[in-house]
Amino acid sequence: MPLVSKDPLVVGRVIGDVLDPFESSISIRVSYNNRDVCNGCEFKPSQVVHQPRVAIGGDDLRNLYTLVAVNPDAPSPSDPSLREYLHWLVTDIPATTGPNFGNEVVAYESPRPTSGIHRIVFVLFRQLGKEKVYAPGWRQNFNTREFAELYNRGSPVAALYYNIQRENGSGGRRLY
Predicted local distance difference test score (pLDDT) of residue 175? 44
In-domain check, residue 174: no
Predicted local distance difference test score (pLDDT) of residue 6? 85
Total structural domains in the chain? 1
In-domain check, residue 150: yes
- Alpha-carbon Rg for the chain in angstroms: 15
In-domain check, residue 81: yes
In-domain check, residue 134: yes
Closest CA to 147 of 31, 48, 83, 68: 68
Predicted local distance difference test score (pLDDT) of residue 2? 58
User: Which segments of the chain are extended strands (E)?
Assistant: 28-32, 35-36, 41-43, 53-56, 64-71, 85-94, 103-106, 118-126, 158-164
In-domain check, residue 2: no
What is the DSSP-derived secondary structure letter of residue 99?
G
Query: Would you write out the chain's pLDDT as a tens digit for each of its 176 residues?
Result: 556 668 999 999 999 999 999 999 999 999 999 999 999 999 999 999 999 999 999 989 999 999 999 999 999 999 999 999 999 999 999 999 999 999 999 999 999 999 999 999 999 999 999 989 999 999 999 999 999 999 999 999 999 999 999 988 655 544 43
Predicted local distance difference test score (pLDDT) of residue 3? 61
Distance, CA of 64 to CA of 94 (rounded, Å): 5
What pTM value is reported for the model? 0.92
Predicted local distance difference test score (pLDDT) of residue 168? 82
In-domain check, residue 116: yes
In-domain check, residue 173: no
| Range(s) of the domain holding residue 130 | 8-164
Residue 128: CATH number of its domain? 3.90.280.10
In-domain check, residue 172: no
